[in-house]
Amino acid sequence: MPKKAIDVSAWQGKISTKTWEKNKDDIPIVFLRCSYTEWKQFAMHEDKVFENNIKTAIKAGMSIGVYHYSQAISETEAIKEAKFVLKTIKPYKEKIKQPVTLDYEFGGRLNSSVARKMGKQRCKQIIDAFCKVIRNAGYVPMVYANLSTLNGYIADNIYKDWLIWVAQYNSRCDYRHQAYAWQYTSSGHVSGISGRVDMNIVYGQSAVSTPDNGKKYPYELPKLPHRGWFTSGDKGEEVKKLQRFLSWANNKYLTQDGECGSKTLEAVRNFQQCEGLTIDGCFGKECLKRAKTTKRTTS
């Protein structure tokens, strides 16, 4: 059953428990901006009213999700944003029942020219990097973007990996795939909240492909060498198994010659980056642990 939701930030100011309670029957869900990245430089900040608004929303019994306004233009930046989000929302983890969202909007550093130059697949890889860190921390990730951005700047299969929140100010949502939520206007009015408010319809997780719809690695994983990690110069059948896994995990073919050279180390670093691990090029215990749970959408 679809439900109404609003999303708010410092622009709407501090919201009281009384205001949430007064509107909860009609609008039971709220997405709070927890943090944002600056337009001109890569600097992240907690939303100045987030602490107040999540505490009052919790007291009122709201169904709560959060979002981060992103300006990431690399996987490394996206991972930093995700880790900043996790730090910001950690005190409220048990109370966040709605998704943790990457707000993918064009601004200063991240703009249409930059996105066009990067290409759709590259933009998706950056989004993937953020969402994987969020998922690995035990939350449900989601991607917010307007319809033209989803259609024109992000690889079309994004909806297969992550929940989608579509912004389209219209009488209907024209996104050609299933969406978790639809933001249909930015000009709503809610009693007790000053200014205009974004209004949304939440369809729910049952209406979409979830982040867990991928498949685990179907082959045997490598056994680590005695030292505890693979590094440059290693050779043999276990290196072949490592190379086979990296080809699968990165969705990019890697020659399986049993020799751990520069391309294999590069593939390890790419895996570490996408999974939010320490990027050192050494495939060790933490990488193997993550490999056992990593999933990939194969369709």
Q: Is the same domain home to 118 and 227?
A: no
Model confidence at 161: pLDDT above 50 = yes
Question: Which residues, at least 6 apart from 69, have a Cβ–Cβ distance to it below 8 Å?
Answer: 33, 35, 36, 37, 103, 105, 107
Beta bridge partners of 197: 188
State the total domains in the chain.
2
Q: What is the pLDDT of residue 299?
A: 37
Give the strand pairing for 44-46 and 63-69: unpaired
Beta bridge partners of 145: 166
Q: What is the pLDDT of residue 1?
A: 67
CATH number at residue 105: 3.20.20.80
Query: Domain boundary residue among 183, 207, 231?
Result: 207
Mean pLDDT of 70-76: 96
pLDDT in tens, 91-113: 999 999 999 999 999 999 999 99
CATH number at residue 221: 1.10.101.10
User: Which residue did the predictor score with more confidence, 248 or 16?
Assistant: 16
Question: Do 186 and 158 contact (CB within 8 A), yes or no?
Answer: no
Residue 194: CB atoms within 10 Å: 12
Q: What is the pLDDT of residue 211?
A: 40
Query: Domain boundary residue among 207, 236, 257?
Result: 207
Residue with the two structure tokens 């709070």? 32
Model confidence at 16: pLDDT above 50 = yes
Mean residue pLDDT of the chain comes to 91
Range of lowest pLDDT (123-127, 170-174, 199-203, 219-223): 170-174
Q: What is the pLDDT of residue 206?
A: 34
Q: What is the pLDDT of residue 216?
A: 83
Its domain, for residue 265, covers 215-296
Q: What is the pLDDT of residue 88?
A: 98
Q: Is the same domain home to 39 and 170?
A: yes
Distance from the Cα of residue 254 to its chain's centroid: 26
pTM above 0.85, yes or no: no
Q: Is the same domain home to 79 and 192?
A: yes
Q: Is the same domain home to 9 and 141?
A: yes
Q: What is the pLDDT of residue 203?
A: 87
Q: Is the same domain home to 224 and 289?
A: yes
Model confidence at 58: pLDDT above 80 = yes
Q: Is the same domain home to 275 and 147?
A: no
pLDDT in tens, 23-43: 999 999 999 999 999 999 999
Question: Do 163 and 185 contact (CB within 8 A), yes or no?
Answer: no
Q: How confident is the model at residue 210 (pLDDT cuts 50, 70, 90)?
A: very low
Q: Is the same domain home to 111 and 245?
A: no
Q: Is the same domain home to 167 and 221?
A: no
Model confidence at 163: pLDDT above 50 = yes
Q: How confident is the model at residue 207 (pLDDT cuts 50, 70, 90)?
A: very low
Query: Domain boundary residue among 155, 189, 207?
Result: 207
Q: Is the same domain home to 84 and 170?
A: yes
